[in-house]
Structure 1
Amino acid sequence: MPFNYNKEQKSPKRRFLLILGTAAFICFVVLGLMIMFWDALPLQMQHYQRLLFGGFIICYAVLRFSRLFKKDQYED
């Protein structure tokens, strides 16, 4: 039996936002990794700047993804 935090099924709005948020998370992580490690990307930055900027984007993705699971106090 799978472990459920709540027994209720997610609303269509909540399910859509979860799918959209997961897609955004994946896109931001891929973008951060591209900036960090793809040398052919035409950015005029030094290597450490690329690492910092890519790391910042990945941290932002993790922050956005963690906000998906925060329960809204006004939601039913």
Structure 2
Amino acid sequence: MFNLETFKQKSPQQRFLFILGLVMFLFYMVLGSMLIFGTKLLSEFQPKYRIMLGCLLIVYGVIRFIRLMNQKPEE
């Protein structure tokens, strides 16, 4: 899955894109959690739609994270 040795061998551009991918994963997780558990965010929507959108964002973040971890190192 994640090997620290391959992370060290990556070029600076690949490392930057990897870290950016992790930041985006965290962004989707936090935004989805805020939609599900926060009552002030998008309060004009019905609660079931806020929860569905929050779950969708969390699932999308998990899919992005899995794809990021399963990348093959370029040779």
Q: What TM-score does the superposition give when structure 1 sets the normalisation length?
A: 0.77
In structure 2, what is the Cα distance between the partners aligned to 1:10 and 1:26? 22
In structure 2, what is the Cα distance between the partners aligned to 1:10 and 1:24? 20
Letter of the aligned partner of 2:47 in structure 1? H
Equivalence for 1:56: 56
Tell me whether 62-71 or 32-41 shows the greater mean CA deviation. 62-71
Equivalence for 1:47: 47
1:55 shift after superposition: 0.3
Equivalence for 2:16: 16
Q: Which runs of 5+ in 1 are unaligned?
A: none
Structure (1/2) with the larger helix percentage = 2
Q: Which runs of 5+ in 2 are unaligned?
A: none
In structure 2, what is the Cα distance between the partners aligned to 1:42 and 1:51? 11
1:5 shift after superposition: 7.5
RMSD: 2.3
Aligned pairs, number: 72
The structure that has the greater radius of gyration is: 1
In structure 2, what is the Cα distance between the partners aligned to 1:30 and 1:5? 26
Greater than 2 Å deviation, 4+ residue runs: 3-8
Q: What TM-score does the superposition give when structure 2 sets the normalisation length?
A: 0.78
**CA offsets 1:8-33 (integer angstroms, 9 cap, x no match):** 71221211111100001111110001
